[in-house]
Amino acid sequence: MYKKREGGKYHLAANPFTVIFLGSKCKAMMDEFVNNMESNASDRVHKEFENRFSIKCPICKVVNLADSKYCNACGTVLSSK
């Protein structure tokens, strides 16, 4: 709701329940945005790690460090990149 003040200027006026409602909606949207950003960043970091610093076992598909000679899960000999 808009109210006119002295001097002809308008301002937004709301009852306390409207303010609480709008505040909670804004917080919910910000939380969702932050969670999505953290998830996207986490996925990118994980993929970058897999691409640069790891080797995947051809048998069990477990990700091992790039300098590993044997798979940590099944013991298969890993070929170097």
Read off the pLDDT of each residue in 50-58 and give the average, rounded to a whole number: 84
State yes or no: pLDDT of 40 exceeds 80: no
CA distances from 74 to 4, 13, 50, 51 (A): 75, 66, 18, 21
pTM over the 0.75 mark? no
pLDDT digits (tens, 9 = 90+) for 2-19: 667 777 787 777 777 887
Amino acid making up residue 74: C
Contacts of 49 by beta carbon, 8 Å cutoff, 6+ apart: 63
Read off the pLDDT of each residue in 36-60 and give the average, rounded to a whole number: 82
Predicted confidence at residue 2, as pLDDT, reads 61
Cβ-contact 63, 47 below 8 angstroms = no
Percent of the chain with pLDDT over 90: 23
Residues recorded for the chain: 81
